[in-house]
Chains A and B, each alone.
Chain A
Amino acid sequence: MLDLQKIRADFPILHQQVNGKPLVYLDNGATSQKPRAVIDALVRYYERDNSNVHRGLHALSMRATDAYEGARARVAKFIHAADPAEIIFTRGTTESINLVARSWGHAHLKPGDVVLTTEIEHHSNLVPWQQAARASGATLKYVPVLGADAEGGLDLAALDTLLTPQVKLFAFTHISNTLGTVNPIAELCRRARAVGAVTVIDAAQSIGHAPFDVQSLGADFVAFSGHKMCGPTGIGVLYGRRALLDKLAPDETGGGMVSNVTYEGARWKPAPERFEAGTPNVADAIALGVACDYLDTVGRDKIAAHDAVLAQLAMEKLSTLPGIRLIGPRPGAERSGLVSFSFAEVHAHDIVTFADEDGLALRGGHHCNQPLMRKLGLTGTTRASFYLYNTEEEIDLLVASLRRTLKFFVGS
């Protein structure tokens, strides 16, 4: 059990009123709030250590470099990577996936190859593969999702026919940001390995919510963002298995990633520097390391359990609302800490505006998942996504707000 009073005290932003009501922040799938320790790390860095890294020989530069490389080692430990050199700092999940799609895709994909992904991916794990397939002449295929409300998860039986030796890369999300579906990533990695396909896991929704071990999964690439795991915006990570990174050409070139430059050409540094051209996002990387500390102190296994309790409670209470269509796993089935739903008579945007008046932060829309929305016959859903500081009382406030909105639009 989490000590919610203590945890909530760690997050300054939660203690405010919105539209005259106490803030109920249920948009953690979009971004999480930041604990005081992370905010303080940013201030401390800029007040005391700010300097460029890997370049200067002066005290501040050495301090900044130590802290930056310390953050890399901290993130490696957070996901149980074998080597800090397997951690590349990026702007976020999107940039991480694009890096793989461009660098790895350019070097390895050719006509006749298949890139496999799933029907439930966020645009960030879909559009880069469309682009990579288009550029290389490879074919992009999708693992279907089962059920009229996508309640059945991925069609794992279809994998037998889809996962052929032609599949060179299999990209899939750990947790669906729209459905709350938890994919069986260990099984997906194992089956991809069996046909020699490289795996790319979008861990944006999961990394700060549950323990994650890249080595036991045998994952090749893992992408995630700092801002969804109590860290700052603008910093993210691409984990790549060392053997793959060593053979990979850089996507961006310039300063910081070269070991020797002549007028004729340049030699690249080894990973991770090879993939971090220009001055990196030092401050936010350091603060991300502090976010790792924070989450591990609380305990990601406890956070996962807390998310699951809230999600199941929300599913149970929401199912009593007239006309609600619940999307994703059915009540009682495994799901991550988010719920997604729609009403035939009230658009998600109107719901979100009414909820905002009650101090609730919800997300309404297609959740960067337009093909899935189309498949489900929806223009959008309303989503409530939970994190370690959310309470059971907040779910009651959500349901009460939805009841008021329904009464206004439908009269019931």
Chain B
Amino acid sequence: MSADLTELYQQVILDHNRRPRNRGKLPTANRVAHGDNPTCGDQCSVYLRVVPDAPTTSDQPARIAEISFDGSGCAISQASASLMTTQVKGKTAEEVAALYKDFHHIVTTGQATEEISDLAAFAGVHAFPARIKCATLGWHATIEALKSDPLATPTTTETHLD
């Protein structure tokens, strides 16, 4: 196995692929978004419970209280979505956007700063440009879910972005 491939399929990634965290529908979700990777058919739905649900004020921005994901795809896309759910809980839309910017930097350049922790496991993706979309699929769905309108009844409708 080449060094690039070993770098791509890190132990952290294989672990999240085998034992995904926060997988399944979230019954209490008030935001949902769905991402498709049309070239390979990978799918990822992200369910969020955002608190507070009402329009936010500057001193109390909405945060992700709970998150789950569902879908099917390659090891990279599933592991990335799984790891992402563990990293964005408790964060505001702004904080998620900042974290995604770091993550995007990692997967496109292979360079990670120290404090990024587990996300750095995805540095190996940069050597496989065709796989960047796999790694970012769950992140895009989360960002879209944060932008989406609140659900009338939790998790009864989905926003299709394709």
Contacts and interface: CB of A to CB of B under 8 A. Distances in A.
Interface in A318-353: 346-350, 353
Nearest to B14: A409
Q: What class of interface size applies to chain B in its complex with A?
A: 20 to 34
Interface stretch (B37-45, B102-110, B147-155): B37-45
Contact of A357 (B2, B39, B73, B134): B2
Contacts of A350: 9, 74-76
Interface stretch (A130-138, A309-317, A365-373): A365-373
A379 interface: yes
Interface centre among B2, B5, B40, B75 (most CB of A within 10 A): B40
A30 to B, nearest CB: 12
DSSP majority for the A interface? helix
Given A349-B77, A408-B9, A409-B14, 10 more contacts: A19-B2, A20-B2, A348-B40, A349-B74, A350-B76, A365-B39, A370-B41, A380-B40, A408-B1, A409-B75
DSSP majority for the B interface? mixed
Contacts of B134: 349
Nearest to B4: A357
B62 to A, nearest CB: 33
B40 A364 contact: yes
A400 to B, nearest CB: 13
Interface centre among A347, A366, A379 (most CB of B within 10 A): A347
Contacts of A373: 41
B131 interface: yes
Interface in A86-136: none
A353 B39 contact: no
B119 interface: no
Interface string A357-390: 1000000111000100100000110000000000
Contact of A347 (B8, B73, B128): B73
Given A347-B73, A348-B74, A408-B9, A353 B40 contact: no
A353 B127 CA distance: 11
Given A353-B128, A373-B41, A379-B41, A347 B1 contact: no
A354 interface: yes
Interface of A: 19-20, 346-350, 353-354, 357, 364-366, 370, 373, 379-380, 404, 408-409
B5 A354 contact: yes
B42 A349 contact: yes
A76 to B, nearest CB: 36
A357 B1 contact: yes
